[in-house]
Chains A and B, each alone.
Chain A
Amino acid sequence: MAYPYRHEKETRILSECFGDPSARTVAGWKKHGGYQGIARALEIGRDATIEDVKASGLRGRGGAGFPTGLKWSFMPKNTGRPHYLLCNADESEPGTFKDREIIRWTPHQLIEGCLVGSYAIGAAHCYIYLRGEFFETTQILARALEEAYAEGLVGRDIMGSGVDIDITLHVGAGAYICGEETGLMNSLEGRRGEPRIKPPFPAAVGAFGMPTTINNVETLAATAHIARHGGEWYRQWGTDKSPGTKLFCVSGHVNRPGNYEFPLGFPMMELIEDVCGGMRDGKALKAVIPGGSSVPIMSAEDCRACTLCYEGVEAAGSMLGCASVIVMDENTDIVKQVRRMAYFYTHESCGQCTPCREGTAWATRILRRIEDGLGTEDDLDTLIQISEQMTGTTICVLSDSLAMPIISSIEKFREDYLALIRRGERVGAA
C-alpha cells in the first residue's frame, strides 16, 4: 500500500512515484525515464510535438476538458513577440488535491511538462502560478527547479539544444478566482485577480499582453509522458473521447479516500466500493459530486451506471470537471452542504460582475435562512431563478459554478429542502 492508499487496479502514469521522495531529485526522476520527453520533443521539433499531443487526444485537466493539442495550435507563429506558457497550479477547487500531489512527489514531472509545453508553443518563459497556501509544495518545487537549472535542464541552451526556456515560480495570495485563467494573468501581472473579458483570447492577448497558453499542472505533467512515448501510446487508455489516464481525488465518506489514477471511463461505483473500500461505517450512498464543487450534484441513483470520463459523467447529468469525487453518505445534510458551498463562492467571487457579486451572496443568505428553519417553498423557486440569472451572464463561470449545484440539489433533493421548510426536519443530519 504506502502512499496513503494505493490499489492494484490503478494505472500509474502520473502517480507512479507518489509516496517516493527519491523521485524529487533530477537523478531520481531520470531513473523513471524523466527528461526523456523533452529530449524527444527537442529532437522531433515543435510542430511534431504539438501533433503528438493532438494525436494523444489529451484534454485539459483543469476542469473544462479542452483538447490540449488544439489549444497549443492556437498560438500564433512568428509574431516576433514573446510567448508565455502559464502553468495553473492555483489548485483551489473544493475537493481537489491532485496537482499538489504531482508537485509534492514529482516536481520534475511538472518541470518537464512545462518545458515540453513552452517548447511547443515557442515560449522562452514559463510561469508556474502556485496557490498561496501551498507552502510545502512551493518549497519542494523551488528546490527541484534550482536543481534543474543547475543541471542545464532549464534556462539557457537547455540540454544543449540551443533553446532557452526559463521557469519562474509565482506564489498567489490564496484566491480561488486566480485559478481562472485570465484572473490568474491579472494576478500574475500584479493587478486585482479579476477575470478578463474574452475576446481577446489568451492565445492572442494573454499575460503581459502577449500570446499565452495556460495549462493545468496535470495536463502539463501528462504532456511530458506523451512527448516521450508519442500520442498513440497515450490512447491505449481511456475512451475515444476521453483518452488517457486521470487522477481521481476521492474525498468524503469512503473508507480509503485519496488520489487514484485510472484510465478515463472507469466505473464510478467500482471506484467507490472497491478502490476506496466502500462507504464508511457501511452507510448508504446518498450523493456524489463528481468533479469538484462546481458541478451538478448526483444522486446515488445517477451514480449506478456512471463511468468516469467526460462523456460518461455528462450522460449522468453532471460534469467530470477535474475529477474530484466528493462522496456523501446518508447522514449528509444536503441543505447545509449546499449552503456551505454557496458561502465559499460568495467569499471567492471577485465582485466585478453584478450577477455573481450579488447573486452568490443573496443565494447564500436564502440558503442560510432555509437552514435555520425559516425558509418557505417560494424560496426554492427564487433560488432556482437566481441561479438561472447567474448562468451565462458573467465574464467567467464562477457564478455558473454555484448555480449548477444549487439547481441540481433542489431538483434531486427537493424532499430534503421541503422537510426542513415544512417540518423543520434535517434530513441526514446525524
Chain B
Amino acid sequence: MADNGRKADTVTLTIDGHEVTVPKGTSLLHAAETLGVEVPHYCYHPGLSAPAQCRICLVEVEGAPKLQPSCVTMAQDGQVVHTESAQARRMRQGVLEFYLVNHPLDCPICDMSGECKLQDYVFNEGREHGRGREPKRVFGRDDFGGDVLYYGDRCVMCTRCVRFMDEVARDGRLTVVERGDRAVIDTFFESGLDGASFAGNIVDICPVGALVSKDFLHKARAWDLDHTESVCPNCSQGCNIDLHTRDNLVQRLKPRENPEVNGHWMCDYGRANYEWLNRPGRLEAPAVGRGDKRRASDWQHALHALFERLAEAEGASVRVVGSAFSSNEALDALRALAEQAGTLQAGVFRARRAEDEDPLPGFPILVRRRDLAPNVDGAGILGFTRVGDDDGTGGLEEAADHDGVLIVVGDELADQDESFGAKAGLFVYLGTFDSPAARNADFVLPLTTFAEEEGTFVNAQGRVQRFRQGLRGPGTAQPAWLVLGTLAAALTGGDRPVSAADAFASIVQRHAAFGGLIWEGVGSAGAALEAAHA
C-alpha cells in the first residue's frame, strides 16, 4: 500500500522510531522538524547555505560509520535515524562542553539571555558541571558600526553573520580572521557595517549574544518582552514583524518569517523606526468646539453631537483626508461615512516617497520601497487619491479651503497652519496628536495607532496583511474604524462594527479587490488580493 501510494518525489524514513515521508532533497534536520523534533543547530539557518561546521546537529544514521550532520545529510528512503541515541546525545554533550570552554557565561549581562540557543541547549542536555579549569581566552567587544556590537567571547563561530552578508546582503563586509581558537568575526575596514542597509539581520540570526543591537543594548530582558504579530509600518513592503513590547512601549522590531514577503529578514530603516510609536503627548480624550471654544468631552457626548451635525449636513459637499498609516478598515469606514454624510468630492492622502528603493540582493522579493508608509496601496485600492509632494507635504489646498464637511483621519497636518479648515461647515479631526492646523476643528477625536489596534494593510505586492494589537492606546483613544463605523451606522440605522473583523467584512462587501477574503483567512501570513484589482 505504501509503495503504491508513494510518489516518486518523496522519501520515507524513520526518525526516532517514527516513520515520516518528506520530499526528496529534504535534510534530516528538516525531516525531524516535521515530526516536532528539534535537532540542535547553530551554523545552519534556513535562509543561508549550510557549512555543517558547528557539529552539534550530528545524528546517528544506521549504517553510516560516523555521526552525520543532519543539516546537510539528505533524507533517503528506508533510512533509520536516531537523534536521541546514546551516541548522538554523548556527542552533543561533548560539543556543548567545547562551546563553554571559552564562553564567558556572562548571561546576567547578556542581551541574548532568555532567547539564547547556547543557554537552551546547555540547559537541555549539557553537563551539569564544567570541567574547564584553565583561564578563558578573552577578545572583548568590537563596534562593528551601524547598530551592531560584537562580543567575541560569546561567539560560537557559526558564521551565520558572515554568510548573511555574503549571500543575502551580497555586501561582504564581515569575515573570519585568524584561525583555531583565535578565530573571530571582524570587519574589513574601520567603517565596518556603517551604511549597510540590511546588517541588522545579523543580530537576529546570531544564535547567541555575540552580535547585539546597540539600540536595544541593556534595554530589556528577553523574558520581559511581549511579542505581537504585526506588519512593519515604515514602507509599503510590509515586512512581517513581531512587535517586542514592554511597559506598553515598543522596545524593538523583529522580522517574522514570511517567504512571500520578507523571508527571514527586514531592512535596517524599518527596524530602526519605531520610536514614533512610543511618542508621548498623545490625544487621549475627545474635545469639542472650535478654537478658543474647545472643551474636553467624552465619547458619548462628542459622538452624539457629531452625529447631529452630520445628520444636519445631509447632502453637503464632503472632503476627506486619510492617511497611508491608517488601516484599510479605517480608510474604508471613512469613505463609507463620507458617502453617507453627503456628496464625496475627494478622498486624498499624502505619503513620503524616498528617492530610490533598496532591494535585498540575495532575497530580491524584499525591497525597501520608495513609499515610506504601510498602506499606500490599500489607500489607492479603497479610492483615495495621493496628493502632495514626495516629502509628504502640500496637496491639501482644496481641503484647507473647503466650505462643506471636512474630515481628517490620521494626517497630522504638520505643514498646515491655523487657517486650515477655517471655512469648513463642519471640520472633524481624528488623530493621534493634536495639531495647530486642527484649531478650527469642531471635533477632535483621539485615535489609536496601528500598534494599538487590529486591522489590515495592503502592501506593494497587493497582499492584505493583518496586524494585531501590541500596545494599549492612551486614555480613551479608539480605532478609527470603530469611531467612523459607529457614526455611519447611526446615519443609516444599520449595525455598527464591533470588531476589526466586522470592519474588514464590510470592505470585502464593498470592494471587488477584496472579494472572497475572510478575516480569519488572512491569518498571520496575509493573503494576496485578486490580481486584477490589486
A-side interface residues toward B, CB under 8 Å?
175, 177, 192, 197, 346-355, 357-362, 365-366, 369, 382, 385-386, 388-389, 392-395
- Contact of B180 with A389 in the complex, beta carbons under 8 Å: no
Kindly identify which residue among B51, B58, B98, B182 contacts A359, using a CB–CB cutoff of 8 Å.
B98
Q: Which of B98-131 contact A (CB under 8 A)?
A: 98-99, 101-102, 131
A residues in contact with B181, CB < 8 Å:
346, 349, 351, 357-358, 360-361
Contacts A175-B179, A357-B181, A393-B58 supplied; 18 other A-B pairs, CB < 8 Å: A192-B176, A346-B181, A349-B180, A351-B176, A351-B178, A351-B179, A352-B159, A354-B55, A354-B95, A354-B98, A355-B55, A369-B134, A382-B131, A389-B94, A393-B91, A394-B55, A395-B52, A395-B53
Whole-angstrom CA separation of A73 from B28 in the bound complex: 31
- Contact of B56 with A350 in the complex, beta carbons under 8 Å: no
B residues in contact with A385, CB < 8 Å:
94
Query: Inter-chain contact count A-B, CB under 8 Å?
Result: 95
- Closest chain-B Cβ to A132's Cβ sits at a distance in Å of 15
- Contact of B67 with A392 in the complex, beta carbons under 8 Å: yes
- Contact of B66 with A392 in the complex, beta carbons under 8 Å: yes
Q: Answer whether A362 and B52 are a contact pair too, CB < 8 Å, given A351-B183, A354-B95.
A: no
Q: Mark B151-191, 1 if CB is under 8 A from A, else 0.
A: 00000110100000000000000001011111100000000
Q: Answer whether A358 and B178 are a contact pair too, CB < 8 Å, given A353-B53, A389-B91, A395-B53.
A: no
- Contact of A354 with B157 in the complex, beta carbons under 8 Å: yes
Q: Answer whether A355 and B98 are a contact pair too, CB < 8 Å, given A197-B51, A197-B72, A365-B134.
A: yes
- Closest chain-A Cβ to B217's Cβ sits at a distance in Å of 27
* A–B pairs, 8, beta carbons within 8 Å: A175-B179, A349-B179, A351-B179, A353-B53, A354-B55, A357-B157, A361-B180, A362-B98
Kindly identify which residue among B51, B95, B176, B178 contacts A389, using a CB–CB cutoff of 8 Å.
B95
Whole-angstrom CA separation of A359 from B159 in the bound complex: 19
Q: Which of B177-212 contact A (CB under 8 A)?
A: 178-183
- Contact of B52 with A346 in the complex, beta carbons under 8 Å: no
Say yes or no for B366: interface residue by CB 8 A criterion.
Answer: no
B residues in contact with A392, CB < 8 Å:
65-67
A residues in contact with B475, CB < 8 Å:
none
- Contact of B69 with A389 in the complex, beta carbons under 8 Å: no
> What range describes how many residues of B lie at the interface?
35 or more
- Closest chain-B Cβ to A170's Cβ sits at a distance in Å of 20
Interface centre among B101, B156, B179 (most CB of A within 10 A): B179
Cβ-closest chain B residue relative to A196: B51
Say yes or no for B97: interface residue by CB 8 A criterion.
Answer: yes
B residues in contact with A386, CB < 8 Å:
94
- Contact of A366 with B134 in the complex, beta carbons under 8 Å: yes
Say yes or no for B54: interface residue by CB 8 A criterion.
Answer: yes
Q: Which of B47-63 contact A (CB under 8 A)?
A: 51-56, 58
Say yes or no for B361: interface residue by CB 8 A criterion.
Answer: no
- Closest chain-A Cβ to B119's Cβ sits at a distance in Å of 16
Whole-angstrom CA separation of A177 from B102 in the bound complex: 23
Whole-angstrom CA separation of A360 from B95 in the bound complex: 13
Say yes or no for B25: interface residue by CB 8 A criterion.
Answer: no
Cβ-closest chain A residue relative to B131: A382
B residues in contact with A382, CB < 8 Å:
131
- Contact of A389 with B72 in the complex, beta carbons under 8 Å: no
Q: Answer whether A350 and B179 are a contact pair too, CB < 8 Å, given A357-B157, A366-B134, A393-B58.
A: yes
A residues in contact with B159, CB < 8 Å:
352
Whole-angstrom CA separation of A393 from B87 in the bound complex: 11
Whole-angstrom CA separation of A349 from B180 in the bound complex: 4
Say yes or no for B132: interface residue by CB 8 A criterion.
Answer: yes
- Contact of A353 with B55 in the complex, beta carbons under 8 Å: yes
Interface centre among A358, A365, A393, A395 (most CB of B within 10 A): A358
- Contact of B97 with A389 in the complex, beta carbons under 8 Å: yes
- Closest chain-A Cβ to B200's Cβ sits at a distance in Å of 25
- Contact of B53 with A354 in the complex, beta carbons under 8 Å: yes
Q: Mark B279-308, 1 if CB is under 8 A from A, else 0.
A: 000000000000000000000000000000
B residues in contact with A365, CB < 8 Å:
134
- Contact of A354 with B183 in the complex, beta carbons under 8 Å: no
Whole-angstrom CA separation of A354 from B69 in the bound complex: 13
Whole-angstrom CA separation of A410 from B491 in the bound complex: 92
Whole-angstrom CA separation of A348 from B94 in the bound complex: 21
A residues in contact with B157, CB < 8 Å:
351-352, 354, 357
Cβ-closest chain A residue relative to B180: A349
Cβ-closest chain A residue relative to B181: A361
Kindly identify which residue among B65, B156, B176 contacts A354, using a CB–CB cutoff of 8 Å.
B156
- Contact of B98 with A389 in the complex, beta carbons under 8 Å: yes
Whole-angstrom CA separation of A347 from B156 in the bound complex: 18
Interface centre among A347, A353, A369 (most CB of B within 10 A): A353
- Closest chain-A Cβ to B181's Cβ sits at a distance in Å of 4
Whole-angstrom CA separation of A353 from B176 in the bound complex: 13
Cβ-closest chain B residue relative to A193: B179
Interface centre among B52, B55, B91, B133 (most CB of A within 10 A): B55
Q: Answer whether A197 and B55 are a contact pair too, CB < 8 Å, given A351-B181, A362-B98.
A: no
Kindly identify which residue among B55, B137, B179 contacts A393, using a CB–CB cutoff of 8 Å.
B55
Cβ-closest chain B residue relative to A382: B131
Interface centre among A175, A348, A360, A365 (most CB of B within 10 A): A365
A residues in contact with B55, CB < 8 Å:
353-355, 393-394
Whole-angstrom CA separation of A74 from B94 in the bound complex: 36
A residues in contact with B97, CB < 8 Å:
389
- Contact of B134 with A362 in the complex, beta carbons under 8 Å: yes
Whole-angstrom CA separation of A365 from B133 in the bound complex: 9
Q: Answer whether A357 and B180 are a contact pair too, CB < 8 Å, given A351-B157, A393-B58.
A: yes
Whole-angstrom CA separation of A382 from B182 in the bound complex: 22
Q: Answer whether A358 and B53 are a contact pair too, CB < 8 Å, given A351-B180, A393-B67, A393-B91.
A: no
B residues in contact with A350, CB < 8 Å:
179-180, 183
- Contact of B101 with A358 in the complex, beta carbons under 8 Å: yes
Whole-angstrom CA separation of A175 from B183 in the bound complex: 14
Q: Mark B130-154, 1 if CB is under 8 A from A, else 0.
A: 0111100100000000000000000
Whole-angstrom CA separation of A394 from B54 in the bound complex: 9
Cβ-closest chain A residue relative to B97: A389
Cβ-closest chain B residue relative to A347: B180
- Closest chain-B Cβ to A351's Cβ sits at a distance in Å of 4
Cβ-closest chain B residue relative to A176: B179
Whole-angstrom CA separation of A362 from B181 in the bound complex: 9
A residues in contact with B178, CB < 8 Å:
351
Whole-angstrom CA separation of A161 from B350 in the bound complex: 77
B residues in contact with A177, CB < 8 Å:
179
Cβ-closest chain A residue relative to B183: A351
Cβ-closest chain B residue relative to A388: B94
Whole-angstrom CA separation of A346 from B181 in the bound complex: 7
- Closest chain-B Cβ to A407's Cβ sits at a distance in Å of 15
Whole-angstrom CA separation of A348 from B67 in the bound complex: 24
Cβ-closest chain B residue relative to A378: B131
Cβ-closest chain A residue relative to B58: A393
- Closest chain-A Cβ to B10's Cβ sits at a distance in Å of 21
- Contact of B54 with A354 in the complex, beta carbons under 8 Å: yes
- Closest chain-A Cβ to B128's Cβ sits at a distance in Å of 15
Kindly identify which residue among B65, B102, B176 contacts A358, using a CB–CB cutoff of 8 Å.
B102
A residues in contact with B54, CB < 8 Å:
353-354
- Closest chain-A Cβ to B401's Cβ sits at a distance in Å of 67
Q: Answer whether A360 and B180 are a contact pair too, CB < 8 Å, given A197-B69, A394-B55.
A: yes
- Contact of B134 with A346 in the complex, beta carbons under 8 Å: no
Cβ-closest chain A residue relative to B158: A354
B residues in contact with A353, CB < 8 Å:
53-55
- Closest chain-A Cβ to B398's Cβ sits at a distance in Å of 62
- Closest chain-B Cβ to A382's Cβ sits at a distance in Å of 5
